Amino acid sequence: MSFLFAAPDMLTDAARNLASVGSTISAANTAAAASTAGVLAPAADQISAAVAAILSQHGSAYQALSAQAAAFHAEFVRALGGAGGTYAAAEAVAASGLAAAQQDVEQEVLAAINAPTELLLGRPLIGNGADGTAASPNGRPGGLLFGNGGTGYSATAPGVAGGTGGAAGLVGSGGAGGTGGANAAGGAGGRGGWLWGTNGPAGLSALASGTVPLQMNGVFATVGVSVNGGPSVPLTVDTGSNGLLIPFWDIGLRQLGLPTQLGFVSYGEGVGFIYLNFNAPVNFGNGLLTAPTPVSVEILELPLSLNGLGLMLTGNVFAGGDGILGIGSNAVGPASSVVTALQGPLNQGVLIDEPGRYLQFGPNPLPGITVTGAPVTAFDVQINGGPLQQVLALVDSGGNQGSIPSSILETGQTSGPLPAGTTISVYTDGALTPLYSYTTTETNSPQVLSGQMNTGFMPFAQGPVYISYSPTGVGTMTFDF
């Protein structure tokens, strides 16, 4: 059996070259037209007349032959060019057929490979996960061995959250979360591969504000938080510090990346913590998910006092929580507040409503009295109706019963708890606008110290307090009661 090989591009080039030859022939015929189309008039003798007749016959024959040759050449060029086009079209059809056949074979092979894991686990062994739809908004997971997670569905209806991105398996990137509808949260991004890959980005949120429940453990408030896809664990809400501190066993370890900082921090209860900072997303629930932001992962606890040792032995280092959620603006801590990594306007601030048992992220929803500095600010304080005295104060939700400077007392007391029955009234600095007041009891009284004032939990127990992160690094606090 013999085979004919045709190269359409070569046929096209040949036709193009022959066309140029045809142009050359036409130019030659035009140049010869003058000498072949007409012969000069002969002399009067018979011989000249006979020669002229012969030459005229040859010229006419040349003109006819050249016209036939030009027509044949043009037809040949057209045929050759048409053959090239025909072969090219035939090759395109054959190639598309082969590609379709190859794709069909690939699909059949993948289907055979993925069938067992699809049946048993509901996900393929190899291949990308399907994107979310209106009926099933969450992206499907990628292949166990290789494949990216599907993209979450972007909602269009108001109040409908975006779908979550699908997770990758061993190798692959997580799917992107879908965009939320009006006044709805975006979906969380899918987890990246165990061996290689990146986490999918969270979907855009259209939330103007968002709330999460608070739990009270005595005088301390806790809120559930998930770090880097780990379990949701209670963290103690602390306005007196900055940054999130959490033990390493409470975070998701996949795609955590490399640490950015090694440090040491103590919160004043007699326990020190050695930590590593990582960039990781923080999820408060209800669609309130931050972009990757610095979080501090505790790797070792150290007792700094007998009180601290006692707290470590009783497992009460974080006052009922698994870690610390420091949400101050001008406080100190291992990192900045993770609230600022929420999507705007959720990152403007946070309302702590302990009587109402919730946190609300976003702009301040209530009217109130505002002071500059969050939590470090200046107050005028009055003890038992005495003179107003200016103090530097730390408005500290995690400060237990707090502390009072001995310098503003007229009793000479320098240590220990303030006696029960003492009335403490707090005003804005210089404006004499009352903020809050209370009378101490045997079980609720600040410690007398030589340093600055610490409000402890009392202002938060009386009503909502809002922390704003503007201006950056200073902030404001609004007493909304």
Question: Would residue 401 be called left, alpha or beta, if left means φ above 0 and alpha means ψ between -120 and 50 degrees?
Answer: alpha
Catalytic residue among 238, 322, 353, 480, which?
238
Burial (0-12, 13-18, 19+ Cβ within 10 Å), 79: exposed
Tokens of 178: 């879908």
Question: Would residue 66 be called left, alpha or beta, if left means φ above 0 and alpha means ψ between -120 and 50 degrees?
Answer: alpha
Tokens of 338: 């993770």
Distance separating alpha carbons of residues 151 and 175, to the nearest angstrom: 5
Burial (0-12, 13-18, 19+ Cβ within 10 Å), 329: buried
| Helix, coil or strand: residue 108 | helix
Sign, CA dihedral 355-358-359-364, equals negative
Sign, CA dihedral 217-220-223-225, equals negative
Distance separating alpha carbons of residues 463 and 480, to the nearest angstrom: 7
Strand partners, 247: 298
Tokens of 449: 């110290």
Amino acid, res. 105 = V
Phi and psi torsions of 418, nearest 5°? -65, 140
- Verify whether residue 238 is a known catalytic residue: yes
| Helix, coil or strand: residue 334 | coil
58 Cβ contact list (under 8 Å, min separation 6): 36
Strand pairing of 323-327 and 233-238? parallel
Question: Would residue 70 be called left, alpha or beta, if left means φ above 0 and alpha means ψ between -120 and 50 degrees?
Answer: alpha
Residue 244 near residue 265 (C-beta atoms within 8 A): no
Distance separating alpha carbons of residues 250 and 229, to the nearest angstrom: 10
| Helix, coil or strand: residue 219 | coil
Nearest to 291 by CA among 184, 183, 194, 177: 177
Q: For tokens 């699909």, name the residue.
A: 107
Active site residues: 238
